[in-house]
Structure 1
Amino acid sequence: MTLSRNHLILLLTGFSVSMILGAWVFQYVFGYPPCKLCYYQRYPHWAAAGFGILALLFGGVLLPYLAGLSAAVTGAIGIYHSGVERKLWDGPATCTSGNIGGLSTDELFDQIMSAPMIRCDEIPWEMFGLTMANLNALFSLGAALIWIFAARQKT
């Protein structure tokens, strides 16, 4: 059974919507509030879903490629976030601990008091050694490849 271009686009649009819904379930049902990088991973899913809906409504070649680019962007953010979680590189100063060496007591206190409650460099949940950022990166980069495949299919 071969899926048509529109079926692939529908499935991929559903994928991005389900990733957002899944994030909301973790946030609102299971009580895992997102960090800044978690939010940044959601925005391209919204874009991919929007481009997918537009592609279903109006056809064309460009929209599936834009959806694929959006999926690739959220996958890249997921890779970046994964590295921050694993302490491979520093994350944004607004959501990681950063270097506190050389700070006075008052400066350290001010940094603690102005720090966000949810840090990007901590892993709140993982399954089989994979974090939510890892899973988003893997699934989204796979989806990006399928978007490209769908874009190349004849209508």
Structure 2
Amino acid sequence: MADSISVTVHTLQALLSTYTLYFSYISITNLQKYETKTEEAAKYSNIAKDQLHKTRTTQGNALIAILMSLATSIALAFKQSSWSPYLVVGINVGNALNLLQTRAHVSNFWKGKAKVPFVEGYNEAISGTERIIALLGNMSGSWALSSVLALWKFFV
């Protein structure tokens, strides 16, 4: 019974990760439209250079966390029963904490970004990133739930 619940939770995590990955792709694609202009500005301004670096870092960090969640949720849905319970708990807790930290990292940079009139792709990237931030929180919560389920197996 607990195994079927875990498989269901991990399958839902994989779906949520895929959904979040879609928004990450859209945000990164929209930001890349302004990459050349931003790189040119970064040659003359340390502020622009710093903003470009932070933009790349936060988007990349979110992408890596989402991909890790997707890969581990698929692996746990199919192979969990053959793994050490300590490894399963570690993966669940690790993903919950990683996604929570990633959400904070991305949010701290993007929360103050104002939308710019007549710059549609950039504004869409901001909106997409706001959606990603919310979804990272949901993903972290789902991994916290699966952590509880994994720990439950120790006591049952």
Above 0.5 in TM-score? yes
TM-score, normalisation: structure 2: 0.57
State the Cα distance separating 1:24 from its structure 2 match. Answer: 1.3
Letter in 1 for 2:61: Y
TM-score, normalisation: structure 1: 0.57
Structure 2 residue 66 is matched with structure 1 residue 45? yes
Contact residue 65 and residue 151 of structure 1 kept, 8 A: no
Aligned to 1:139: 138
Aligned to 2:99: 74
The structure, 1 or 2, with the larger RCO (C-alpha pairs under 8 Å, 6+ apart) is 2
Aligned to 2:12: 11
Instruction: Decide whether aligned partners of structure 1 residues 67 and 43 sit closer, same or farther in structure 2, where only a CA change above 3 A counts.
Output: farther
Large movers: runs of 4+ above 4 Å? none
More helix by percentage: 2
Where structure 1 has 5 or more consecutive residues not aligned to the other structure, the ranges are 88-121
Which one is further off, 4-13 or 76-85? 76-85
Letter in 2 for 1:135: A
Letter in 2 for 1:74: L
Contact residue 27 and residue 125 of structure 2 kept, 8 A: no
Instruction: Decide whether aligned partners of structure 1 residues 17 and 52 sit closer, same or farther in structure 2, where only a CA change above 3 A counts.
Output: same
Instruction: Decide whether aligned partners of structure 1 residues 26 and 72 sit closer, same or farther in structure 2, where only a CA change above 3 A counts.
Output: same
Where structure 2 has 5 or more consecutive residues not aligned to the other structure, the ranges are 33-54, 113-122
Instruction: Decide whether aligned partners of structure 1 residues 11 and 153 sit closer, same or farther in structure 2, where only a CA change above 3 A counts.
Output: farther
Letter in 2 for 1:54: A
Instruction: Decide whether aligned partners of structure 1 residues 68 and 18 sit closer, same or farther in structure 2, where only a CA change above 3 A counts.
Output: farther
Letter in 2 for 1:75: L
State the Cα distance separating 1:68 from its structure 2 match. Answer: 4.1
Aligned length: 117
Per-residue CA distance 1:98-127 (angstroms, 9 max, x = gap):
xxxxxxxxxxxxxxxxxxxxxxxx994238
